[in-house]
Amino acid sequence: MMSKLLVIAEGRDGALRNVSFEAIAAAKKIKSDAEIVGVVLGKDDLEDKANELIYHGADRVVTIAHEKLQNYTSEGYGQAVLAIVNDESPDGIVMGHTSIGKDLTPKLAAKLDTGLVSDVVDIEVNGDRVEYTRPIYSGKAFEKKIITDGLTFVTIRPNNIPILDRDESRSGDITTKEVDVADIRTIVKDVVRKASKGVDLSEARVVVAGGRGVKSADGFKPLYELAEVLGGAVGASRGACDAEYCDYSLQIGQTGKVVTPDLYIAVGISGAIQHLAGMSNSKVIVAINKDPEANIFNIADYGIIGDLFEVIPLLIEEIKAVTV
Ligand code: FAD
């Protein structure tokens, strides 16, 4: 019998987050011949999002439109996903290892008395054996998990599994499911985004992160300029956040966001273990620091020893020169 995997999509600012497409690619890796069923939840206007999932590899999509699903709540989304799981009886459920994924999947896995492999960065398949790779000890080691039986939830870390090519010629059924979402005790009155507009930090391909060495909120301006020329996002160490140079929503590390961009530029950051926990799996790390003994140089692929206020303008100038 053909197996079936559900992919729970996530939206932000009216569009689907990239990790939704990465989750489809992950599902295809888990079982290349499985039927991939996308799930889109929200208040209304879900058809475009459903189509996007199909263009990115989903075979069909189930949507639930309900005013109580306008904003994420564990109770609302939990009830909706549970209703779809009961209908579809999937063999696995994949979604992003995002704030929502981290909240929703353990609760549902516990409710359904089943397993969860979280924060997956790679999937390898050998015959029927699927190996999930996930970082442990704050990214200092990796473990491989093998699930032999039963429905399993899988959350994937953004930016690790390449999405499939978008193909607008693909088509698939979009079914709208009616669900009577019961009373939700959490009432979301408003969603206020603290992070700056533009590229989402946790999904950015390039991150320019500033530390206490940036010295002031104004000192972050060249970092924003560098991030802009590179099409990236700005992040920060806790040192910079504690010093009120920037908002805590930018914090990367053990108690902040975990990022895995293609390029991470650490500017005026010493490289404390708690910071490394949030960025050490970045593909290429560049460190700019005036202290040649700074710990960040131990994990950097490229190091620039110098004053950031001299180095960053030069970098911006050079990058502009080669990209114009
Ligand atoms: P510093 O350690 O002060 O380093 C500043 C660096 O800037 C120095 O290396 C200096 O040489 C360099 N510098 C100064 N001026 C210049 C210049 N002009 N040009 C170039 N370089 C310059 N930290 C996090 O980042 N994320 C976390 O999630 C996190 N969680 C934590 C959780 C716990 C429980 C604890 C105890 C700590 C946590 N920390 C976290 C804090 C962490 O231990 C460090 O204190 C913090 O990362 C230091 O930030 P920093 O590197 O910006 O500052």
Among the atoms of ligand 1, which is closest to the Cα of residue 309? Answer: 18
pLDDT score at 195? 58
Length of the chain measured in residues: 324
Is 101 touching ligand 1 by the criterion CB < 6 Å?
Answer: no
Compute the Cα dihedral for 185, 190, 193, 199 and give only its sign.
positive
pLDDT score at 197? 63
Which residue has 């060249």 as its token pair? 222
Distance from the alpha carbon of residue 211 to the mean position of ligand 1, in angstroms: 6
Q: Angle at Cα 189 formed by Cα 184 and Cα 194, nearest 5°?
A: 125
Is 39 touching ligand 1 by the criterion CB < 6 Å?
Answer: no
pLDDT under 50: residue ranges of the chain: none
pLDDT in tens, 201-258: 988 999 999 999 999 999 999 999 999 999 999 999 999 999 999 999 999 999 999 9
Pairing of strands 122-126, 129-136: antiparallel
Tokens describing residue 117: 């492999």
pLDDT score at 261? 95
pLDDT score at 1? 55
pLDDT score at 192? 79
Is 239 touching ligand 1 by the criterion CB < 6 Å?
Answer: yes
pTM, two decimals, is 0.83
Closest Cα to atom 11, ligand 1: which residue? 291
Among the atoms of ligand 1, which is closest to the Cα of residue 253? Answer: 28
pLDDT score at 304? 98
Is 289 touching ligand 1 by the criterion CB < 6 Å?
Answer: yes
